Amino acid sequence: MTESVLGVLASGRGTNLQSIMNAIATGQIKAKIGVVITDKPEAKALDRAREANIQAVCIDRKKCSSKEDFEQKLVAALREYGVNLVILAGFMRLLSPYFVQSFKDRILNIHPSLLPAFGGAHAHRDVLAYGVKVSGCTIHFVDEGMDSGPIILQESVPVLPGDTEDTLAARVLEKEHSLYPRAIALYLDGKLIVNGRQVIIQS
Ligand code: GRF
């Protein structure tokens, strides 16, 4: 059996990356992380990877001549490290069809709202502005659209009176940290069957 090698893409502090590393350490996720890649040199995710002796690479978007150039470098690095499942963990860039096709059906993302509501880069702000009473997080396959691929798992949290973006984000983040490892484990254990938009989870 081929070993499962994850490539984690992140742009920031990397707490979801950390939850995945922890889940690998406990055996919940049976895989290794081949490489962590960020698009920004200051991303704390790089430090987390290095502290865990995981390859950490920055492909600085600002130093790439174009989106194509950036994505070609991303794909090349993921291939170099033998990645067969791409995990977007707070990666704040929309990927083009070229990238999505390069890892077809092998890219997962986490989004901090209950999709299809409140996609995009400001989910918590939009949730509060709209006044919904429930929010949460979603793990989904990545397709060519924004936050639009088939949904694997979701978990809800209440939106409480007086919530700010920070308090809501913290409540959602706590759920994210258990939901993403669960979804990755289901994928790697071969329990997910995708049928159009439906993701069937086998017991
Ligand atoms: C998380 O809320 C995730 O859902 C969103 O970006 C945030 C990343 O946080 N896509 P972290 O870098 O994993 O701490």
Q: pLDDT value at position 2?
A: 77
pLDDT at 106 > cutoff 80: yes
Q: Which atom of ligand 1 is nearest to 44's Cα?
A: 12
* Mean local confidence (pLDDT), 80-100: 97
* Banded pLDDT at 1 (limits 50, 70, 90): low
Residue with the two structure tokens 């069937």: 200
Cα distance between residue 173 and residue 152, in whole Å: 17
Q: In what order do the strands lie in the sheet with 5-10?
A: 56-58, 32-38, 5-10, 85-88, 107-111, 134-141, 151-158
Q: pLDDT value at position 116?
A: 98
Ligand 1: residues within 6 Å at CB? 10, 12-16, 89-90, 110-112, 173, 176
Q: pLDDT value at position 54?
A: 98
Please return the burial class of 117, using the count of CB atoms within 10 Å of its CB with bins 0-12, 13-18 and 19+: middle
pLDDT at 124 > cutoff 80: yes
Ligand 1, atom 9: nearest CA belongs to which residue?
Answer: 90
Is the CB of residue 73 less than 8 Å from the CB of residue 59? Answer: yes
Q: Which residue has the higher pLDDT, 1 or 31?
A: 31
Which tens digits make up the pLDDT trace of 167-203? 999 999 999 999 999 999 999 999 999 999 999 999 9
Is the CB of residue 91 less than 8 Å from the CB of residue 99? Answer: no
- This prediction has a pTM of 0.97
Which tens digits make up the pLDDT trace of 146-157? 999 999 999 999
Cα of 90 from ligand 1 centre, angstroms: 4
Q: Is 111 a catalytic residue?
A: yes
Cα of 177 from ligand 1 centre, angstroms: 10
Mutate which of 17, 108, 176, 177 for ligand 1? The one with the most ligand atoms within 8 Å of its CB, which is 176
Which tens digits make up the pLDDT trace of 62-87? 999 999 999 999 999 999 999 999 99
